[in-house]
Structure 1
Amino acid sequence: MRRRIDPGRWGLWAFLLLSALFFALPLWAMVVTSLKDMDQIRSSSPLAWPDAPTLQAWQAAWSEACAGVECGGVRSGFWNSVAIALPSTLLPIGVGALNGYALSYWQPRGAGWLFGALLLGGFLPVQVMIYPLVKTLAAAGLFGTLPAIVLVHLVFSMPVMTLLFRNHFLSLPRELFLAARVDGAGFWRVFVQLMLPMSLPIMVVAGIIQVTGVWNDYLLGLVFAGPDWQPMTVQLNNIVNTSTGERRYDLNMAATLLTSLVPLLVYFGSGRWFVRGIAAGAVK
Structure 2
Amino acid sequence: MTAPSVAKRPVKAEHVWGRFGVYGFLFFVALFFLLPLYVMLVTSFKSMDEIRLGLIFALPQNFSLDAWIKAWTSACTGLDCTGLQVGFFNSVKILIPSVILSILFGAVNGYALSFWRVKGANVLFACLLMGSFIPYQVFIYPLVRFYAQAGIYGSLPGIVLTHIIFGMPVMTLLFRNYYTGLPMELFKAARIDGAGFWKIFFSIILPMSVPITIVAVIMQVTAIWNDFLLGLVFAGRDNLPMTVQLNNIVNTTTGERAYNVNMAATILTSLVPLVVYLVSGRWFVRGIASGAVKG
Q: Please give the TM-score of this superposition, normalised by the length of structure 2.
A: 0.94
SS at match of 2:33: helix
In structure 2, what is the Cα distance between the partners aligned to 1:49 and 1:131?
48
SS at match of 1:280: helix
1:129 deviates by 0.7
In structure 2, what is the Cα distance between the partners aligned to 1:250 and 1:17?
28
1:275 deviates by 0.9
SS at match of 1:246: coil
| Corresponding residue number in structure 2 for 1:21 | 31
| Corresponding residue number in structure 1 for 2:243 | 233
SS at match of 1:107: coil
Equivalent positions of 1:213-224 (< 5 A) are 213-224=223-234
The answer to whether structure 1 residue 121 and structure 2 residue 131 are counterparts is yes
1:105 is aligned, of 85, 109, 115, to 115
1:44 deviates by 5.1
In structure 2, what is the Cα distance between the partners aligned to 1:74 and 1:151?
24
| Corresponding residue number in structure 1 for 2:170 | 160
| Corresponding residue number in structure 2 for 1:271 | 281
Give the unaligned 5+ runs of structure 2.
1-9
Q: Which amino acid aligns with 1:156?
A: F
Equivalent positions of 1:117-266 (< 5 A) are 117-266=127-276
1:67 deviates by 1.9
Is the contact between residue 68 and residue 244 of structure 1 (CA under 8 Å) also seen in structure 2?
no
| Corresponding residue number in structure 2 for 1:35 | 45
In structure 1, what is the Cα distance between the partners aligned to 2:223 and 2:66?
30
In structure 2, what is the Cα distance between the partners aligned to 1:159 and 1:44?
47
Deviates more, 1:184-193 or 1:274-283: 274-283
Deviates more, 1:208-217 or 1:11-20: 11-20
Is the contact between residue 172 and residue 281 of structure 1 (CA under 8 Å) also seen in structure 2?
no
Q: Which amino acid aligns with 2:232?
A: L
Count of residue pairs the alignment pairs up: 284
1:22 deviates by 0.8
In structure 1, what is the Cα distance between the partners aligned to 2:151 and 2:215?
34
2:106 is aligned, of 91, 96, 106, to 96
| Corresponding residue number in structure 2 for 1:4 | 13
In structure 1, what is the Cα distance between the partners aligned to 2:41 and 2:159?
32
The answer to whether structure 1 residue 66 and structure 2 residue 100 are counterparts is no
Bigger radius of gyration among the two: 2
SS at match of 1:164: helix
Q: Which amino acid aligns with 2:20?
A: W
Give the unaligned 5+ runs of structure 1.
none
Q: Please give the TM-score of this superposition, normalised by the length of structure 1.
A: 0.97
